[in-house]
Amino acid sequence: MTTLIRAQGPRELLAYVPFRLGYRPQDSVVLVGLRPPRGRIGLVVRVDVADAADVEHGPQLARSVVGHLAADGARRVVLVVYSDAPLRAAGVAAARVRAAVEHCREAAEPHHGPVEAWVVSSTGWYALDCAEDDCCPPEGRSLRELESSEVGAHMVLSGAALADSREEALRIPPAGADARRRAARAARRVRDRARSVAAGDDVASRVAARVSALALWRTAVAQVVARDRARDGGPVDDGAGAAVPAATVLGRLAAGLESVPVRDAVLLSLVPGTDDLPDRTVRGGDVDAGTGRAIAAVVDPGAGLAPDPAVTGPARAVLEGVVAHAPRGSTAPALTLLALVAWWHGDGGRARRRLAEALAEDPTYRLALLLASALDAGVPPGWVRADACADTHDVG
């Protein structure tokens, strides 16, 4: 299940935030929601300093972000500023950062109480409001304190890696030209066979093709699990850096996912408790009903099903492999599934990036539009809302 992290002090919190984002932020303000009763870290949102500091739009941006934190069940809010500006001195750069912090505090404090602000620079970390050199020296406390923290050590030992920028963290690099050509040829063969079958009245052959595609998906995921365990000698990670199957397999999967029943079956296979529903979906079940059940399972707080990284991690690795190998214009299904997985894990930034990529390939792709509407409305996954309701009830 999803790992729970509690804020047991600023050092642990500051060590965790970059791993939560997947990269080392720069010129950013990160708002962290802490849920009751013991300071469990909830939603984490990063905004650019320039945007938060803007005189006209900054306060509204801050209120919007704080609103999302509140909807996620936050009782307290902590700010983490990533900047090399000399914040203890006067100057334009320092004034801009302080304006960003002030807008965030003004938005959060009426509902969440006093808001602590911490600063992480390229040389150290310190409390923004601390002026005591013994506690927070001018250059900050050593960054090694964050690297050697319990959370930092745990994340490194679990195989988590940090990108140097948001762009690098979200980018799916394309496979080599030869691998892409092999994937394209394999996808073309699958599509040619599908067109040939569709031209006739052989329903059994169409069903068999979908069943074969789902079986290929399961085989690919099993390969990732086996390779990852052999490499690490332990449980699978969250998908980043995991091995992927052969280019021809990924090409066939790209073509297979163009079938809505196959795509929905893959989606259903990620949801706990769906049993044989993926198989019934590819064999001709009610496609809309199947998709609805899967979405409800992850959206509805009444069900509150959290993602299992042991399931979604390998799936993400395979889907990213499909995107890396498939020709442009054929990856909307895989990108949309990646967006859904990211959103389910609470990674709204990654989900939005994948949706933007999917809709750039197919602006009418229905599942992408549905998920985009949920993100635009600020709807968190069902398990997050269920946790928020439970926490509120427990605290009274």
> Do both 130 and 177 map to the same domain?
no
> Do both 197 and 139 map to the same domain?
no
Q: What is the pLDDT of residue 64?
A: 87
Q: What confidence tens digit (pLDDT) does each residue in 182-198 have?
A: 999 999 999 998 888 87
Q: Is the pLDDT of residue 199 over 80?
A: no
Domain-terminating residue out of 134, 168, 202? 168
Structurally, the chain folds into a number of domains equal to 2
Give the best-scoring range by mean pLDDT among 6-20, 42-56, 276-290: 42-56
Residue 261 domain-assigned (yes or no): yes
> Do both 119 and 178 map to the same domain?
no
Average pLDDT over residues 356-381: 90
Q: What is the pLDDT of residue 375?
A: 86
Tokens of 274: 């769906």
Q: What confidence tens digit (pLDDT) does each residue in 90-131 have?
A: 889 999 999 999 999 999 999 999 999 999 999 999 999 988
Domain-terminating residue out of 143, 168, 193? 168
Q: Is the pLDDT of residue 393 over 50?
A: no
Q: What is the pLDDT of residue 149?
A: 76
Distance CA 150, CA 264 (A): 40
End-to-end Cα distance, the chain: 26
Q: Is the pLDDT of residue 389 over 60?
A: no
Domain-terminating residue out of 141, 168, 195? 168
Q: What confidence tens digit (pLDDT) does each residue in 303-328 have?
A: 667 788 889 999 999 999 999 999 88
* Long-range pairs, 26-29, Cβ under 8 A, ≥24: 26/82, 26/83, 26/165, 27/82, 27/83, 28/81, 28/82, 28/83, 29/79, 29/80, 29/81, 29/82, 29/100, 29/101, 29/104
Distance CA 173, CA 175 (A): 7
Tokens of 50: 């320039």
Residue 395 domain-assigned (yes or no): no
Would the pTM of this model clear 0.95, i.e. be above it? no
Domain that holds residue 233: 172-385
> Do both 211 and 126 map to the same domain?
no
Residue 31 domain-assigned (yes or no): yes
> Do both 133 and 198 map to the same domain?
no
Q: Give CA 307 to chain center in angstroms.
A: 11
DSSP 123-182: S-EEETT---TTTS-TT-B-THHHHTSHHHHHHHHTT---BSSHHHHH--PPPPHHHHHH
